Amino acid sequence: MDAPRRPHSDNPLLSAWTGPYGLPPFDAVKPAHFRPAFDVALAAHRAEIEAIAADPAPPSFDNTIAALERSGRDLRRLENLFFVLAGAHTDDAIEAVEREVAPLLARHNDAVYLNRPLYARVAELYRRRESLGLDAEQARVLERYHSRFVRAGAGLDEAKTRRLAAINERLASLATRFGQNVLADERAFALILEEDDLDGLPDFVRTAARAAAEARGHAGKYAITLARSAVESFLQFSSRRDLREKVFQAWIRRGESGGATDNRALIAEMVALRAERASLLGYASFADYCLADRMAKTPEAARRLLEEVWTRARAKALAERDALQALVAEEGGNFALAPHDWRYYAEKRRRAAFDLDEAAVKPYFQLDRMIAAAFETARRLFGLTFTPVAVPLYHPDARAWEVKEAGGAAVGLFIGDYFARPSKHSGAWMAALRNQERLAGDVRPIILNICNFSRPAEGEPALLSFEDARTLFHEFGHALHGLLSNVTYPLLAGTAVASDFVELPSQLYERWLEAPEILRAYARHYRTGEPMPQTLIDRLLAARTEGQGFATVEYTACALLDLELHGPRAERALDVDAFEREGLARIGMLPEIVMRHRLPHFQHLFAGEGYAAGYYSYLWAEVLDADAFAAFEETGDLFNQALAERLRRFIYGAGNLRDPEEAYRAFRGRLPSPEALLIRRGLADVVA
C-alpha cells in the first residue's frame, strides 16, 4: 500500500512498511504507536473525502467512485494490523487503545457515508449509470457504493443522520466491551487438576492439560482452560461428572458473571439501538434491514429454512437423548442426563456403534500433516504451491508461507497462527493484513488463519480431533477466498460478500478433508507414519451423521433466537435471561442441550455486527456447499479440473463482482434445494 505522504521517523506505523512482502515492522510496533497513527491516518482520509466531495468538476466514475477507492489506504492498512493484534495477540494496552479507537472509527465511517455532498455525487452517477459506459466491475462498484450510502442513511434529514451517527458510535463502543469481557472471563478460568482427577482422559488430553498448567505456572499439574478444543475434549472423555459440570458451567456462563465483565446490560442496549437504527432507516426490524442486503433477502426466507431443519433435528435429538439416557441406566447411573453429560455418553455410544474411539483417531490428525493436506487440496484444485518463508511476525506461534501459481506467479502470503493462548480471543477466523486489488498496481494479499487448538507439550506434535481438522480446512477455505481474489477495486476484494454467501467457500472446502486421496495420504499416525487403516477411515466417515441431532439443535437454536432477538418484537428493555429462557421454550429446546453460543458470550452477534441477524448464514451456505460438492461427486472426480476452474472463477476468485445468486448460477448452472443438506446431516428421512 502507499506510504504516508510525510515521514514520521519516531512512529513505525507512519513510515513505509519495508518488511518482506510488505509486512509491517512487528518488532518495532508498540501499543503506544497506534493512537497517534490513527489520528494521522484519520485526518488524512478526512482530507481526501472532503476533496472528493468538494471537487468542482461534474461527478465522474474516476473522480468520485475510483477516488473513493484510492482514498484511505493508510487507514486501511493500520486498521488491518491493529485488529489482527487485538484479536490474536492482545494485552491491556491494546485493549485500552481498542476502546478508544472503536468509537472514533465509527464516527469516521459516518462522516464518510453521511456526507451529503459526497452522496449527491454518488447518487447522480447511479442515476446515470446506464449512460456512463462502465464495464461490469465498475458498474458493480458503483452499485455497492450507492447501496452503502443509502443503507447508512445518507438520504435522511439532518436530525435523523445525527441520531444514526450517535447510535453507530455507541454500538462500536459496546461491541468492543462485549468482546473484551468474554476474553477476560476466559482468561480468568482454569480448572487445576491433580493426577487423581484425570480419570477417563486419554493421553492427548492429559498432555495438552499439562502444557496448559505449565504455561500458567502450575508445573506438574494439569489445567483445563476455556479454549473450545480443551473444553470439548474434557467433556467428551472425563469420567468425573462433578468436574465436567464445573468446566461446562464456566464455559456456558462466560459474560454473565454479575460483575464488571457481565454482558447482559450491553446486549439489551445494543438490541434497542439496532432496532432504533433500523426504524430510522425505514425498516420494520433490524433483521429486515440486515437481510435486505443478503442472499436470503428477508427474515422469513431464512426462518423457513431454519424451521424445516429444526423440526427434523429436534426429532433426531430426542431419539439421541433417549439412547444416551438408556446408556446411563445400563451403567447404573441414577440421574437424568444433563448438558454436561451429553458429550461423554455420546462418545461412548459412538464407540459402541461404530467401534470408533476418538483417542484412536486423533493420532492420525497431526496439525502439520493437516496443514499440508489443506495445501495439497489447493494444489490439486487450483494449482497453488505453498513454500515456508522465515519472516518477522507478531508472535512466535505464527508462521508464514509464500503462495504461488503452478507457473511461479505470485499469489500472496499466508500466515497460520494455530494455538490457543491467553492473549488470543477464542474461536477461529480468517483475517487480512492486506487485500488483493489492481487499482494501485498488482497488490498481492496477506491472509491469516487464526485458530485455538490445544498446545502440545514441549517436543510433542499437536494432534487434532477430526472436528479440529475440519475447522482448519474451513478457515483455510476462507483464506483461499482472500488469496485467490482477482478484482481491480478494493471494495469488491476477497471475502467482501454477503455473510450468507461468505461461508460457501469455507464450508465447501471442508468437504475435501474427507476425500479418499487426502485421507490416505495425510491421515498418518504421528509416531509410526502408517496411514490410517481403511477400516478406520470407513468407520470414521460412517459416523458422520452420528450426533447430528445434537449438533444441529445446538446451532439452529442460536440462529432462531438471533432472528427473533432482532425481529419486529425486539424489546426496548430486554431481560436477556428471560428472553433466552422463553425463546427456547417456544421452539421446544431440549433441556439436555445448551445453545452453542448463549447470548452473554455470543460474539458473532455482539462483538461486531457481521453476523447479527445473520447467524442463519452457516446453514444457508450449507445448502449451497452441499449442492456444490455434489457437482464434483457427479463427475466421479473430486478434483475435476474443469469444475475447479469454474469454482475459482465464479466463487473463490470473484470477490463481490456479482450478486451471490448470479455467482452461484454461473458456477452450477442453477440454484440448489435443501435436499443435499438434509441428506448430509442425516435428516432427510427423519419424521418430525
Distances 157 to 154, 160, 162, 167, 280 between C-alpha atoms, Å: 8, 6, 9, 16, 10
Measure the CA–CA gap between 195 and 284, rounded to whole angstroms.
Answer: 57
Q: Which of 377, 379, 386 is nearest to 512 (CA)?
A: 377
Run of H or E including 93:
helix 92-113
404: number of Cβ within 10 Å: 16
Instruction: Please state the φ and ψ torsions of residue 669, each to the nearest 5 degrees.
Output: 90, -5
- Alpha carbon separation from 255 to 219, 280, 598 (Å, rounded): 29, 30, 9
> What residue ranges in 48-164 does DSSP mark as E strands?
none
Task: Estimate the crossing angle of helix 264-280 against helix 158-188, to 10 degrees.
Answer: 160
**Residues 573-606, buried b or exposed e (16+ Cβ, 10 A)?**
ebebeebbeebbeebebbebbbbbbbbbbbbbbb
Coarse DSSP helix, strand, coil percentages of the chain, rounded to the nearest 5 percent = 60, 5, 35
What CA–CA distance (Å, rounded) separates 519 from 531? 8
Rounded CA-CA distance 478/6 in Å is 36
Contact 161, 177 (CB under 8 A): no
Q: In this structure, how many other beta carbons lie within 10 angstroms of the beta carbon of residue 133?
A: 8
- Which letter, b or e, does each residue of 472-491 get, where b requires 16 or more Cβ atoms within 10 Å of its Cβ? bbbbbbbbbbbbbbebbbbb
Rounded distance between C-alpha atoms, residue 175 and residue 266, angstroms? 8
Q: Could you tell me the three cell numbers for 7? A: 515521514
Cα separation, 524 vs 529, whole angstroms: 5
- Report d(CA 553, CA 311) in Å as an integer: 9
- Which grid cell is 596? 452453542
Distance in angstroms (rounded) separating the CA atoms of residues 209 and 454: 8
Q: With contact defined as beta carbons under 8 Å apart, do 97 and 82 qualify?
A: yes
Catalytic residue among 69, 186, 320, 475: 475
The three grid cell numbers given for residue 558, joined into one nine-digit string: 442460536
Nearest to residue 351, comparing CAs of 546, 630, 167, 220? 546
Based on the residue annotation, tell me whether 475 is a catalytic residue of this protein.
yes
Give the three cell numbers for residue 248. 461446562
Query: Would you name the residues annotated as active-site residues?
Result: 475
